[in-house]
Amino acid sequence: MSMAWKRRRSFFGALGDKDYSAMLRILEPISREVLLVPISSERSAAPEALAAACAIKHRIFQSVKEALEASRGRILVTGSLFLVGEALQVLGVEL
């Protein structure tokens, strides 16, 4: 992984039926903080469940928009592709 991403703020959301604990363990060495959000899906893991699995500094947000508004600088948006799509939409990015 590029050193440019070392210890960045990570933005994370996942579906409840995925192994989000393992995903969060992968993010821990490269993240200084994890912003936890729900995904717009009935299958979304609650941010509180994600927090219980997160061993580093984290904050809980109730929406993608709220978390993006609280973010400054570079962020790594990861977890579910549903989350990445939502973040791109909130940011107004068209592919």
pTM score > 0.85 for this model? yes
How far apart are alpha carbons 63 and 40 in whole angstroms? Answer: 9
- Close Cβ partners of 12 (under 8 Å, ≥ 6 residues apart): 20, 23, 24, 27, 34, 35, 36, 37, 50, 78, 79, 83
- Provide the residue ranges of all domains of the chain, joining segments of one domain with +: 3-91
The candidate with the shortest Cα–Cα distance to 12, out of 23, 1, 2, is 23
Residue 60, phi then psi, degrees to nearest 5: -105, 135
- Residue 8 · residue 33 · CB < 8 Å: no
The CATH class for the domain spanning 3-91 reads alpha beta
Pair of tokens at residue 45 = 């893991």
What pLDDT tens digit does each residue of the chain (95 aa) get? 555 556 788 999 999 999 999 999 999 999 999 999 999 999 999 999 999 999 999 999 999 999 999 987 888 999 999 999 999 999 999 88
Q: How far is CA 19 from the centre of its chain?
A: 14
